A and B are shown apart, each in its own frame.
Chain A
Amino acid sequence: MDQNRIKQLHDKYYRGETTEEEEKELFESSNNEALNAENAFYQATKLLELPDSFDEDLKIILHQDRGGKIRRIWPELSRIAVVLFIGILIGVLINNSKKSYQTTMQEVVTIALADQHSVHMRLKGLELAAQMPVLEEELLNSLTNLLNNDENVNIRIAALDLLMRPKNDNIETTLFDALFQQESILVQSIIIKYLLALEDPKIKEAIWDKLENAALDEQRKKQIRSLIRI
């Protein structure tokens, strides 16, 4: 086909005046990409052409399976949401249970430490407290109370060891005060060891000064002085 004929058909095509035969002739002979693409699109739309019974068929399908694909997506989304919700819930519960476990442990330990009838129970309380990652203020106060007032030396020593474990800003004051509240030289000697380990350059002098006026017998003062020198 010559170029003039193609041009002629082309112009006629865009004017919308071509017959079916002419269009066929035009597409077969043309290398025009735009036309070819248009033709392809046209053919595709013909394939997608809905049958006349489409509306009726759709109504039947919708009646059988309400929502179709959209309905099928919802269960997936809700399933994901449920999983997420359970995950969040578990996370919250674990976190809360950790907190409540710690709280329960703190309560159990505090009760055990206050058991005046059983020294075994108090020592058990101290053993449990040693396993706790954090000692709350109330528990630290209980330990200080045991260090200064418990009737049993073993309890005082165990409380002292435990007081030294957490980062406690008041530990030096606690130990310094406790030093002069002890009857047992054994407990005093351990307190001095811990006080010296804090490496406060003024601590020796402070103990020395307080020792001068402390209500202790001379023998005990001498023992404490020798411990400070060590």
Chain B
Amino acid sequence: MKYILIAALTILSLNLGMGQSRQRADQLKPLLKKGELPLTLKERRVIMDFEIPLTKGYLKGKLNVDSKFSRISVRGKDQDFVAVEVVDLSTLNEQYASLDSARWLKTQPKITYTENNNEVTISDISNAPTGLLISISVPNKFAAKLETGHENIFVFDLVGEIEADSKEGNITLTRIDGSIIASSIDGNINAYYKDVSPLYPNALSSIRGDVKLLIPPDASVNVSLSSVMGKVYSDFKLRTHNKNNTTKERKIKTIALGMREASIGINTYSGNINIYNTAKQ
């Protein structure tokens, strides 16, 4: 009787264990979705939601947007999904709607999406200016990698790591609590920090565009900035030193705030660098 009981318990526990592992395997199975956003000449507007699986990390997921010819706007919100809305800006102005129909037919905008667990990728694969705005709301703790050629990038209220690159478009990042790595060739970079995360370093660079940085006075950060030909302005006290303490090397200016736990590096070629205190704005 005793042996039968032990055998029964063993079988039961094995079954439970296997059941749990089956359950875990189901949870880990990637939820891959991919396709094309159904944009039509008639509608020229599409909305699509992507559910984001719950995660235990401090970031809920990642958004990738790659767009040569469409504007990108990303906003962090208190939500557990990613909502993508693509709209033809010309439809908002009836006066130009008919003209833009011809442009639409010529350009034939094409936007694809991929959702793989907690990572959403949106790609505008149009090959000419579309006049589209790709507006995306994400959970406010989210990473973002945004890339555009000729149009602007806007990001609002995001906590996390942001990577933004443009060739000509401006990059404007507002109320960011996290780390930013941004670069542009001809576009300006405006970064308004709510707080600067010490988790990852920050770096902003533009060749011909200006870099404007707004940082709170109570931030704990070391800012180092250098411009080959541009001018530098700061609300905070600037210190000048050589990068490697030799006389002819490039001069780096630094701003030290608080315990300097985080770091921001700014480099421009001919663009100006302006550092503002958010308390004074």
Distance (whole angstroms) from the CB of B185 to the closest CB of chain A: 8
Q: Contact partner of B263 among A127, A165, A186, A189, CB < 8 A? A: A127
B81 at the interface (CB under 8 A from A): no
Structural contact, A186 and B267, CB atoms closer than 8 A: yes
Chain B residues in 8 Å Cβ range of A184? 185, 207
By secondary structure, the A interface counts as helix
A36 at the interface (CB under 8 A from B): no
Q: Mark A107-123, 1 if CB is under 8 A from B, else 0.
A: 00000000000111101
Chain A residues in 8 Å Cβ range of B269? 185-186, 189
The residues in B between 262 and 281 inclusive whose CB is less than 8 angstroms from any CB of A are: 263, 265, 267-269
A199 at the interface (CB under 8 A from B): yes
Structural contact, B201 and A124, CB atoms closer than 8 A: yes
Structural contact, B265 and A158, CB atoms closer than 8 A: yes
Structural contact, B246 and A197, CB atoms closer than 8 A: yes
Q: Contact partner of B249 among A153, A157, A164, A227, CB < 8 A? A: A164
Structural contact, A186 and B205, CB atoms closer than 8 A: yes
Please, how many residues of chain A have a CB less than 8 angstroms from a CB on the other chain?
A: 28
A185 with B207: in contact, given A120-B161, A194-B250, A196-B248 (CB under 8 Å)? yes
- Nearest residue (CB) in B for A128 is B201
The residues in B between 171 and 226 inclusive whose CB is less than 8 angstroms from any CB of A are: 179, 181-183, 185, 200-201, 203-205, 207
Question: Complex Cα distance A207/B266, Å?
Answer: 27
B66 at the interface (CB under 8 A from A): no
A152 at the interface (CB under 8 A from B): yes
Structural contact, A123 and B205, CB atoms closer than 8 A: no
Structural contact, A154 and B250, CB atoms closer than 8 A: no
B244 at the interface (CB under 8 A from A): yes
B163 at the interface (CB under 8 A from A): yes
Chain B residues in 8 Å Cβ range of A210? none
A193 at the interface (CB under 8 A from B): yes
Distance (whole angstroms) from the CB of A148 to the closest CB of chain B: 17
Question: Complex Cα distance A193/B181, Å?
Answer: 24
A161 at the interface (CB under 8 A from B): yes
Question: Complex Cα distance A111/B55, Å?
Answer: 25
Q: Mark B75-95, 1 if CB is under 8 A from A, else 0.
A: 000000000000000000000
A190 at the interface (CB under 8 A from B): yes
Question: Complex Cα distance A164/B183, Å?
Answer: 22
B260 at the interface (CB under 8 A from A): no
Chain B residues in 8 Å Cβ range of A190? 228, 250, 267
Structural contact, A197 and B163, CB atoms closer than 8 A: no
The residues in A between 46 and 101 inclusive whose CB is less than 8 angstroms from any CB of B are: none
A154 with B207: in contact, given A120-B181, A123-B181, A186-B269 (CB under 8 Å)? no
Structural contact, A186 and B207, CB atoms closer than 8 A: yes
Structural contact, B179 and A154, CB atoms closer than 8 A: no
B243 at the interface (CB under 8 A from A): yes
Distance (whole angstroms) from the CB of B229 to the closest CB of chain A: 8
A123 with B207: in contact, given A164-B244, A197-B249 (CB under 8 Å)? no
Chain B residues in 8 Å Cβ range of A164? 243-244, 249
The residues in A between 171 and 230 inclusive whose CB is less than 8 angstroms from any CB of B are: 184-186, 189-190, 193-194, 196-197, 199, 227
Q: Mark A138-167, 1 if CB is under 8 A from B, else 0.
A: 000000000000001111011001001100
Chain A residues in 8 Å Cβ range of B267? 154, 157, 186, 190
Interface residues of B (CB under 8 A from A): 161, 163, 165, 179, 181-183, 185, 200-201, 203-205, 207, 228, 243-244, 246-250, 263, 265, 267-269
A-B contact pairs, 5 of them (CB 8 A): A123-B200, A127-B263, A154-B203, A158-B203, A186-B207
**Beyond the given A186-B267, A193-B228, could you list 6 further A-B residue pairs with CB under 8 A, ordered by the A residue number?**
A120-B161, A121-B200, A154-B183, A157-B265, A165-B244, A184-B185
Interface residues of A (CB under 8 A from B): 118-121, 123-124, 126-127, 152-155, 157-158, 161, 164-165, 184-186, 189-190, 193-194, 196-197, 199, 227
